[in-house]
Every structure is written in C-alpha cells, then in structure tokens.
C-alpha cells in the first residue's frame, strides 16, 4: 500500500500542499513500523477526502485529523461490540 502522502496533490491547493509536505516530513522522522501505522491511518480516511469542500472552514490537516479520529472511533466501537459478544 502506498502512502497517502505519495499521491499527487492538486497544484492549485497551496495550503494542502504545505500541510502534506509537513506531514510527509514528520513521517520521514518515524521508524518503519510507525510509518506503516500512519500510512494505515491515512489510507483509512481516503474515502472522506472528496468531501473536503464541504468542510472548507477546516484546514486540510484539521480535516485529515478529524477523519482519522472518526475512523479510529468506528474501529473501537467494532472491537467493543466483539468483546461484549464473547461468552
């Protein structure tokens, strides 16, 4: 799986490019295991990205972080329901 940060960015979206560049620099400082976790998080929110125009009041990084939190919460709820079903 490729990193979300490796995908081409829109040339006319300067703030997005700056945020993604900053995030890519941060990613490079991480160990390989942590990079894979970050890539998984970013990959999990890719389907939210087309809706970013509806949240124009948020910066691209805020939108990215919010959608990552939503996806993580969904996973927590799924796992909690599995634990509750165990006899």
* Percent of all residues in the chain with a pLDDT value above 70, rounded to a whole number: 71
Kindly compute the dihedral angle of the four CA atoms of residues 11, 15, 18, 22, in this order, to the nearest 10 degrees.
-140
pTM: 0.59
Cα distances (angstroms) measured from residue 61 to each of 76, 83, 85: 22, 33, 36
Expressed as residue numbers, the domain containing 23 is 4-85
Number of compact structural domains in the chain? 1
Residue pLDDT, tens place only, 45-62: 777 766 666 777 777 778
């Amino acid at each position: 799986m490729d990193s979300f940060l490796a995908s081409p960015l829109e040339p006319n979206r300067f703030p997005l490019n700056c945020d993604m560049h900053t995030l890519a620099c941060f990613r490079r400082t991480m160990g390989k295991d942590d990079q894979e976790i970050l890539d998984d998080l970013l990959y999990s929110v890719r389907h939210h990205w087309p809706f970013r125009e509806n949240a124009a009041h948020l910066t691209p990084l805020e939108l990215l972080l919010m959608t990552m939190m939503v996806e993580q919460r969904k996973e927590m709820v799924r796992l909690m329901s599995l634990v509750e079903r165990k006899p």
